[in-house]
Amino acid sequence: MLTITLPALNLALIPDPEAINSQILKQFWLLYEQGSTRQSHFFHGRFENIYIDLERIPALLPIVAQVKSTAATILKCEISDLKYGFWFNLMRPGDQTSLHNHEEDDELLSAVYYITTPQGSGDLILGKPPLALRLQPYAGLVAYFPPQLPHAVDTNNSNHDRLAIAFNFGLNTN
């Protein structure tokens, strides 16, 4: 018998995400369409990471606060001990995210918060196929996992955009 053990996966739900997600979407699209973003990680014909400063999307503040609080609980530390970074991941129809990890020297936890997840817009794959866990995301879900865990996102087979926010957490060294 083959036994597979995946590192800890923690899931959380943001209560009533519709109102806050609609505000995040409005602010995101305004800045994105103005070209007021920084982008990186060009793969498969698109930039996977879209960076916008938190101050420019105030609707995101309560999400960041809740995600940081849960990250501190998972890491058994104080919120003030955490440093973090985040970026948006926009997947248009036909887009995918290749298998990768976030293993950097100072990262202890990764997370993803889902804003829009049309049916068929791609599962989060944790681990290396064929021995991987598939998670079908939905708006308001936050998935926390170790940054060294390989992960990918299936092709967006829907006719709509999918938008998520990825986070990496480490400890302040100050």
Domain of 143 in residue numbering reads as: 10-163+166-170
Is the per-residue pLDDT at 145 higher than 80? yes
Share above pLDDT 90 across residues of the chain, in percent, rounded to a whole number: 64
Return the residue matching tokens 């990471």: 49
- Phi, psi (5° rounding) for residue 10? -120, 135
The verdict on residue 1 lying in a domain is: no
Is the per-residue pLDDT at 1 higher than 60? no
Q: What is the pLDDT at residue 4?
A: 53
The verdict on residue 101 lying in a domain is: yes
The verdict on residue 3 lying in a domain is: no
Torsion of CA 90, 15, 148, 86, to 10 degrees: 50
Q: Dump pLDDT digits (tens) for 84-129.
A: 999 999 999 998 888 888 877 688 999 999 999 999 999 999 988 7
Sheet holding 124-126, edge to edge: 97-100, 151-153, 124-126, 133-135
The verdict on residue 68 lying in a domain is: yes
d(CA 45, CA 155): 13
CATH (domain of 150): 2.60.120.620
Which of residues 157 and 34 earns the better pLDDT score? 157
Average pLDDT over residues 147-155: 91
The verdict on residue 18 lying in a domain is: yes
Q: At 165, is the pLDDT very low, low, confident or very high (cuts 50, 70, 90)?
A: very high
- Spell out the residues 6+ positions from residue 105 whose beta carbon is closer than 8 angstroms to its own: none
Is the per-residue pLDDT at 27 higher than 90? yes
How many domains is the chain built from? 1
pLDDT averaged over every residue in the chain: 87
Average pLDDT over residues 21-35: 91
